Structures are given as structure tokens and as C-alpha cells.
Chain A
């Protein structure tokens, strides 16, 4: 889930060169105009950058002279570079998200607190099933009752497909792989169990040691 540069998958910072066209009324305060334009990119999918713009850093205007577009429009051109934080999910990527809706035929998940993903019933492995309890709805496992997915659970899932509709992303995810599911449960699968076993072993061994010591004392 964490790439080599210690960032969650799908996130990356790119240095981009951007061409912005500003209205003449902005010529007095170009930086404000630039920021306005960059702000309008935020949280929207950008086709040329191939991702959703989450943030921009250090916008740097190149040069002091800017071309005025001749002909029909009075807009002038400003070239700049900026570091842009992008979220570019692709199919097969593993991401995490918080469950915000549980239904019979899908689970709604929010990744990074902004992007919705839906896990359709067809993309949830057969081991998991929907159950309507008196006070809440859950998805749970047939084989392991400790695996419970409910509102607010953190899920790890695999992105099945990403579609851009307009300027927004439509992510659908899948829980088909056996190592996907509720994060608590996954972590329970690995580390805590080792720790537990380890502890038990130690306790066992210490008990044995004591017994041995006692035996020795008796013997002596």
C-alpha cells in the first residue's frame, strides 16, 4: 500500500509546465489570475495531467513578457511551472477507503476522504455476504466471523475500473482477492497473531523453565 517514496499508491507529485490564458483585466495582478485558474483545476480530473489535481505548490511564472493572442481574443498567455499533487488511480491498484454506505448490492467507500468508489455485489467475493441486523447492516464472512464490514470500517480493495465522467472520477472497486477486506481484519490476519503466538510461546517456555527449576530444586 505504500510505494518506495513513502506515499500511498496513486498519489504522486509531478512538475508540470502549464500554459494559462488570462483575461486582460487580470494584467494588473497576474499571480492572482494564475491562482484563480489553478484553483479551478482542483479536485477535478485533468486529462493532460492524467489525474485529479489535489494541490499545487510553488507556481512559478516563466519570464516577464507574455504573448497577447492576436485575432479574436484579447487574452494573453502566461507560461508557468508548478509542482502538482495528483491522484491518478488505475485499474489493479490497491487503495484504502472508509465505508460510508452498506447496501444489499453494493458497498460505498470514500478514498482519501474525497473520492467515491463503489464495490458492486458482483465484485465482492462469495465468501462475504450481506446481513441485515436489527440495528445495522453489515457484510460479513462465511468462514471467519471476525471479518465484519460495517459503516466506518476501513477497507483495503483493488481498483477494478476508473471512468472519467466530465471532470469527475467514477471508481469501481473489487473485493475478489482474498487479501482484501476490512483493514482491522487484515492486520489481525498477520501481525497480531504472530505477536500473540510469540507471547504464548514465551509464556509456555517460561512456565517450562520454572517447572524445570522447581524440579532441579526438588532434586537438589
Chain B
């Protein structure tokens, strides 16, 4: 036909239909001739596509016209023949071109996917690779133009510097990408099936910089809430939780806490792949990972490690924080759309398969905590029941049952939103299970000289759970007349007098605090118990057999995402007896320290407690000076009028328990440390999860 590629001269040529149809004919001709063995025009087309200068408007218009023509000749593009052309198209990026090119490119991709079933997966893959801009530096997400300019010696650092520019147009580009995926999904019903493996496979490695990990996560969540998400959302959520766990276990409690004091905590020494190495940071970047990196943990500042082989703790914790924040926000959005039940089912799969078995999971489980907070009467209650089912099920492994007991303890104690009826029914179930537990059940194991903590681990874990929950909830339950009778009917006395003697084995801090409160409420008999304790001190306490324990819902330490958790959380300071709180501190400056502690750890939710603090001075002074109890009663009654219901209960209870236990201050403080319920000694916060030593 002798058609020639017509050169583009000015911007108005974009809408020139004559030029457009001629270009199309030329391209169709080139494509068919190539299949017959004439490569000339086809190669020219490839060169034309490759040599585009994004600074030159004429060049861009040339590209637009060619892409438009291509999208009208997709049925001539055949997979094996025109592989080079397709590779070129699939390696273009929506981040680097202007909106004219981007629109035409998206249209071309959608047409390729519908006209050619074989290309659907590749089209989707191209779109998924546009989840991140080329400036992220990962080879997968590098587009062809950036890659070729890098080959010509364009410095990598300049590519990275474009990230600010790229991120500025994030909403625009991602809008295009997701609408393209949506269009393809509308036209090709099997899209979700094909998309799922691609999305999971392209997920950046956990060591990738936080801004890119977070951006990819954002895309995944966006996909999850789209129409296609109905089919693949579950898998996406599962993958996200798995990734969160992976990052979670990189962070050690000790490091988080030490990062407050010492700055140079390097967590990972990762050997990156070779292609990562050439993308290494420029040496000129400000070195922020040295002294002062802890500030980042607090303020969420953007920072990069000077050496990409070393990831500072701050970087990892910060990434975790951002990712948790995004996911929690997503949960909130989903629940407001009425998807709580669906998400709960998905998270429960993750919980059973991953979270529950993860030895040092610290943050990921708060996804469930928060979801339950959003729907306390449905999800919140069923989660508690689910945990009860696990610990009492003989089909599950012992480790899992112990973990479940630990989760249950921490959950019932900390979840502020949980209805008291749920707490008390779970307690009832736990207590009756414990009482029904007979040592003979697992006797076949004990023959091999196992310590009894090991053989009866589940029993002790559940006992500890009962006591731990009561430490936090006793006052609240007493307040409610209905729950109070339920509480009285709990066979706690039988529990503590069980022949396996749980008080010997459970964490002393929990036991002591529990006894103190329960004694005062006359729920257990004091004398018998003191006998137990005297006996216990010699054998198991502090020894190797002590129950290895952790509380999964201990205070949440990630600063940014804490906004979701804090309002739903019961801090120990909210439960603590007022005078105990004051006596925690030595000498005259206890008030000041108490203030600090409140500011540092419970600054938002505990205002009421903090404001009240000065009044305790009077109380303590009153007691120290030997004032009569009548006057104190007056003080407390007066105090009640000014405070909320919880604090009321606290005040009353504290007064009631005033007799006898004054000298337990030290023990109590130790207990606080062990239970990780008060912050002043945070380094001992973490106790290991309920787990058995394997060599025993």
C-alpha cells in the first residue's frame, strides 16, 4: 500500500482523524507484514516508540497517536510474533508520562486484555507493576524509559529524587490504575482469579523501604474494597496479615524500649540481592540513623538508613506503625460499610493459622482487637467464645491451647468495650473448666518425669487467665448487681485449692494482686491461702518450671496507630487503686513522678486519673498522720461526687481493702513490673508467650 508514517508537527494533530486513521493503517500493515517476514516497518515502529523524549511535546503527541492507533488494531497483535512490541507496551509506566499518554495507554491495555485472552494476565501484571512508581528503585517497578536512561548512565539517585514528584501525583495515577483493573474485571469475568497470584507475587519484600511497602499495601487494600475484592479480598487480607507478622517479629520489645535511651540499635543485617546493591543510596544522603534515631519512633519522621544493608530498628518499627495504621483505618472503613462479619471470618483464619502460633507477635493481633472494638456485641463476643473453644478443645495442640488462654486473659482484661456479661460468662466457663480438670487426664505424660507445669500447662494458663482478668475487672463486675451475684457463684475457692495448686505456679504478681482483691471481696478464704503461699515459695517460684507467660494485648507501643487502640484499651492505671498508685513511688516526690508517668503513657485517656492525683496527697497524709477512718470515709464520699463511675468504684474498693495489706508495696510493685501493667519499669514488659521448653 506504500503508506508512510506521517510526521507529527503540532499539538492540534492529536485530534486529526485523517492522520489517526492513516497511522492505524500503517501500523496494521507493519504488523501483518512482520508476520509474513518483512521486518522493516515493524522495527521502525519499535524505534519510534522507544525514542520518545518526554520534554518534547511533539514527541509526546507522536507517542499518543501511535498508542491510539495500536489500541484500534489490537486484534492484529499476536502474542508470539509481536513479543517485542508487547514487552515494550507492558513496560511503560503511568507514573512517568503525562495524562494524555496515560489515558491512551490505559485504553490500549484494556483493549489488549479483551481482544486477546492470552494477554489478560500480562495486562494485569502491567497494572500491578504500576502500583509503585519507578522511583522506588525496585527493578520490578522500573519502566522501560527509566531503565534505558539508567543504562545510558543516568544516575540512580536522580531517579530516586523523582519520588517526591511521583508521589505528588499518586492519587491521579492510582485512580487510573484501579479504574483500568475495574474495567478489565467488568469485561473479563475471570480477572480476579488471575489477578490474585499476581498481586501476591509482586508484593515487595519486607525489607523494602517503608514508603513503598506502605504504598503497595494501600493498593492492596484499595483492591480489597473494590468489586473484584469480593472474590479475592480474603486472600489479600491473609497475605497482608502474614506480611505484618513477618515485620512484627523483626521488632523486639527490648529494642523498642532501649531505643528510647540508646540510639544505635541495628536490627537487621540483610544481604540484599545484587540488583538492589547497585541501587544503593547515595553517600550524600543525610545520616539520620545514628544518634537521634529514636526521635523517629516518636515523631514518625521520614528517614533513610545511610547504609541500605543496615536497617535500624526505628525504620522497621516505623514501617510497622504506618502499615498498621493503614490497615486499621481500612478495617474501620469496612465495618462502616457493614462488612464486619466477613472481615472477622477472614481474620479468624489468620488468627488460627498465623497469629496464635507466632511466638513474638506484638502488634498484629491488635487488628482483631480493633475489629472487635468496632463490633463489640458481635465480633467482640464471638472472639472471646472462640478463644474459650480453643483452650478447652482436646483436639488442639497444647501450645495452641496455652496461647489461647493467654490471649483470652489479655483480651478480657484489656478490651474496654467488652460487655461485662461476656467477661463474666467467659470467667464462668474458665473456672468450671479448671475445676473439672483432673490431673489424671494427662497422667500418661507425667510418667517421664516431666515437671507438672509442663504436663498441666493448659490448666495453669487458664487459672492464671482467670486471676489476671479478675485483677482488671473485679471492680467493674462488682458494680453491676447482676454480675456481682454471678461473681459470687464462681467457685474461686475451689479453684485456688485445686490439688494442682495453681497459686504455686502462676506468675506471683498476678496471684498476689488477685488475692489482694479477692480477699477484700471475700471471694476466697484468706487463711488457707497464706498457707499455700508459704509452701509455694520454696518450690516452683522463680525456678525453671515457672509458667512461661505473655500477654498479647499489653499496651500498644506504636505511636501513630495507637490512635485506634487507645480509646478502646484499659490501662492498668485506670484500674489501679488510688493509694497504691501513690505508694508506688518513694518519698516526697511521688506526685511528680506519678504525673510524669501519666503524661508519658496514658496522656489522653487517663486525664481523670491525673487530675485527681493531688487529692491523694490528702488521703495519704491523713493516713500517715493517723487520722481516724471516719474522716477518710468523708473524703471518699466527697470524692465520689466529682468522679466518673469507674473511679467511684475504684475509690470505694480501695477503701474497703485498706486493712492489712499495706506492707505489700514492694511485692506489688514487682507484680506490676511482671504484669507489665505500669510503665515506670518498661524494660521488663515482655514475658514470653505461653510456650513449653522443648528440651524438657
Question: Which residues between 77 and 111 of chain A lie within 8 Å of chain B, taking CB atoms?
Answer: 100-101, 103-106, 108, 110
Contact of B75 among A100, A113, A122 (CB under 8 A): A122
Q: Is the CB of A105 within 8 A of B72?
A: yes
Contacts of B3 in A (CB 8 A): none
Shortest distance from the beta carbon of A77 to any chain B beta carbon, whole Å: 25
In the complex formed, the residue of A with least CB distance to B189 is A114
Given A122-B75, A166-B121; A103-B189 close (CB under 8 Å): no
In Å, the complex CA distance between A117 and B188 comes to: 10
Q: Is the CB of B194 within 8 A of A118?
A: no
Interface residues on A, range: 20 to 34
Question: Which residues between 128 and 182 of chain A lie within 8 Å of chain B, taking CB atoms?
Answer: 163, 165-166, 168-171
Determine whether B118 belongs to the interface, using a CB cutoff of 8 Å to chain A.
Answer: yes
Determine whether A43 belongs to the interface, using a CB cutoff of 8 Å to chain B.
Answer: yes
Given A100-B187, A116-B187; A170-B72 close (CB under 8 Å): no
In the complex formed, the residue of B with least CB distance to A124 is B75
Given A105-B75, A106-B74; A120-B193 close (CB under 8 Å): no
Determine whether A61 belongs to the interface, using a CB cutoff of 8 Å to chain B.
Answer: no
Q: Is the CB of B117 within 8 A of A113?
A: no
Contact of B114 among A44, A114, A118, A165 (CB under 8 A): A118
Determine whether A121 belongs to the interface, using a CB cutoff of 8 Å to chain B.
Answer: yes
Q: Is the CB of B75 within 8 A of A121?
A: yes
Q: Is the CB of A169 within 8 A of B74?
A: no
Interface residues on B, range: 20 to 34
Q: A53-86, CB under 8 A of B: which get 1 and which 0?
A: 0000000000000000000000000000000000
Q: Is the CB of B187 within 8 A of A101?
A: yes
Contact of A108 among B121, B187, B190 (CB under 8 A): B187
Contacts of A170 in B (CB 8 A): 116-118
Q: Is the CB of B114 within 8 A of A168?
A: no
Determine whether B684 belongs to the interface, using a CB cutoff of 8 Å to chain A.
Answer: no
In Å, the complex CA distance between A114 and B120 comes to: 14
Given A105-B75, A122-B75; A171-B189 close (CB under 8 Å): no
Contacts of B114 in A (CB 8 A): 100-101, 106, 108, 116, 118
Contacts of B76 in A (CB 8 A): 105, 120, 122
Contact of B117 among A43, A101, A103, A169 (CB under 8 A): A169
Q: Is the CB of B117 within 8 A of A118?
A: yes
Determine whether B73 belongs to the interface, using a CB cutoff of 8 Å to chain A.
Answer: yes
Q: B94-117, CB under 8 A of A: which get 1 and which 0?
A: 000000000000000001001111
Contacts of B190 in A (CB 8 A): 43, 114, 116, 168
In Å, the complex CA distance between A44 and B28 comes to: 33
Shortest distance from the beta carbon of A131 to any chain B beta carbon, whole Å: 14
Given A116-B188, A118-B116, A120-B115; A168-B74 close (CB under 8 Å): no
Q: B379-414, CB under 8 A of A: which get 1 and which 0?
A: 000000000000000000000000000000000000
Shortest distance from the beta carbon of B17 to any chain A beta carbon, whole Å: 10
In the complex, which of the residues B73, B115, B121, B190 has the most CB atoms of chain A within 10 Å of its own CB atom?
B115
In Å, the complex CA distance between A43 and B194 comes to: 11
Q: Is the CB of A165 within 8 A of B118?
A: yes
In the complex formed, the residue of A with least CB distance to B122 is A165
Contacts of B116 in A (CB 8 A): 118, 170
Given A43-B193, A116-B187, A118-B75; A106-B118 close (CB under 8 Å): no
Q: Is the CB of B72 within 8 A of A104?
A: yes
Q: Is the CB of A103 within 8 A of B115?
A: yes
In Å, the complex CA distance between A108 and B183 comes to: 13
In the complex formed, the residue of A with least CB distance to B110 is A101
In the complex formed, the residue of B with least CB distance to A164 is B118
Q: Is the CB of B194 within 8 A of A168?
A: yes
Contacts of B115 in A (CB 8 A): 103, 105-106, 108, 118, 120
Shortest distance from the beta carbon of A52 to any chain B beta carbon, whole Å: 10
In Å, the complex CA distance between A145 and B73 comes to: 26
A-B Cβ contacts below 8 A, count: 68
Question: Which residues between 19 and 56 of chain A lie within 8 Å of chain B, taking CB atoms?
Answer: 43-44
Shortest distance from the beta carbon of B483 to any chain A beta carbon, whole Å: 39
Interface of B is mostly: helix
Q: Is the CB of B117 within 8 A of A171?
A: yes
Shortest distance from the beta carbon of A193 to any chain B beta carbon, whole Å: 34
Shortest distance from the beta carbon of A21 to any chain B beta carbon, whole Å: 21
In the complex, which of the residues A44, A106, A113 has the most CB atoms of chain B within 10 Å of its own CB atom?
A106
In Å, the complex CA distance between A113 and B187 comes to: 10
In Å, the complex CA distance between A166 and B197 comes to: 13
Question: Which residues between 452 and 499 of chain B lie within 8 Å of chain A, taking CB atoms?
Answer: none
In Å, the complex CA distance between A117 and B114 comes to: 8
In the complex formed, the residue of A with least CB distance to B395 is A28
Question: Which residues between 11 and 36 of chain B lie within 8 Å of chain A, taking CB atoms?
Answer: 28
In Å, the complex CA distance between A110 and B191 comes to: 13
Given A114-B189, A118-B114; A168-B73 close (CB under 8 Å): no
In Å, the complex CA distance between A165 and B113 comes to: 13
In the complex formed, the residue of B with least CB distance to A123 is B75
Contacts of A171 in B (CB 8 A): 117
In the complex formed, the residue of A with least CB distance to B79 is A165
In Å, the complex CA distance between A117 and B310 comes to: 51
Contacts of A113 in B (CB 8 A): 189
Shortest distance from the beta carbon of A132 to any chain B beta carbon, whole Å: 10
Q: Is the CB of B193 within 8 A of A163?
A: no
Q: Is the CB of A165 within 8 A of B117?
A: yes
Q: B69-85, CB under 8 A of A: which get 1 and which 0?
A: 00011111000000000
Contact of A103 among B72, B120, B121, B193 (CB under 8 A): B72
Contacts of A100 in B (CB 8 A): 114, 186-187
In the complex, which of the residues B73, B118, B187 has the most CB atoms of chain A within 10 Å of its own CB atom?
B118
Shortest distance from the beta carbon of A159 to any chain B beta carbon, whole Å: 12
In the complex, which of the residues A113, A116, A122, A165 has the most CB atoms of chain B within 10 Å of its own CB atom?
A116
Shortest distance from the beta carbon of B81 to any chain A beta carbon, whole Å: 14
Shortest distance from the beta carbon of B67 to any chain A beta carbon, whole Å: 15
In Å, the complex CA distance between A43 and B74 comes to: 26
Q: Is the CB of B117 within 8 A of A168?
A: yes
Contacts of A104 in B (CB 8 A): 72
Contacts of A44 in B (CB 8 A): 193
Contacts of B193 in A (CB 8 A): 43-44, 168
Contact of A110 among B72, B74, B189 (CB under 8 A): B189
In the complex formed, the residue of A with least CB distance to B183 is A101
Contacts of A43 in B (CB 8 A): 190, 193
Contacts of B194 in A (CB 8 A): 168
Q: B343-376, CB under 8 A of A: which get 1 and which 0?
A: 0000000000000000000000000000000000
Shortest distance from the beta carbon of B343 to any chain A beta carbon, whole Å: 22
In the complex formed, the residue of A with least CB distance to B73 is A105
In the complex formed, the residue of B with least CB distance to A109 is B114
Contacts of B118 in A (CB 8 A): 163, 165, 170
Contacts of A103 in B (CB 8 A): 72, 74, 111, 115
Contacts of A101 in B (CB 8 A): 114, 187
Q: Is the CB of A106 within 8 A of B187?
A: no
Shortest distance from the beta carbon of A169 to any chain B beta carbon, whole Å: 7
In Å, the complex CA distance between A38 and B60 comes to: 51
Shortest distance from the beta carbon of A62 to any chain B beta carbon, whole Å: 27
In the complex formed, the residue of A with least CB distance to B116 is A118
In Å, the complex CA distance between A44 and B73 comes to: 29
In Å, the complex CA distance between A121 and B72 comes to: 10
A residues with a Cβ closer than 8 A to B are 43-44, 100-101, 103-106, 108, 110, 113-114, 116-118, 120-122, 163, 165-166, 168-171
Complex A-B: 25 CB contacts under 8 Å: A100-B186, A101-B187, A105-B75, A108-B114, A108-B115, A108-B187, A110-B187, A110-B189, A113-B189, A116-B114, A116-B117, A116-B120, A116-B187, A116-B189, A118-B114, A118-B116, A120-B76, A121-B75, A122-B76, A163-B117, A163-B118, A165-B118, A165-B121, A168-B121, A170-B117
B residues with a Cβ closer than 8 A to A are 28, 72-76, 111, 114-118, 120-121, 186-190, 193-194
Which 3 pairs between the two chains have the least Cβ-Cβ distance? A170-B117, A120-B75, A165-B118
Additional A-B contact list (7), CB under 8 Å, known A43-B190, A168-B190 = A100-B186, A110-B187, A114-B189, A116-B114, A116-B188, A120-B76, A163-B117
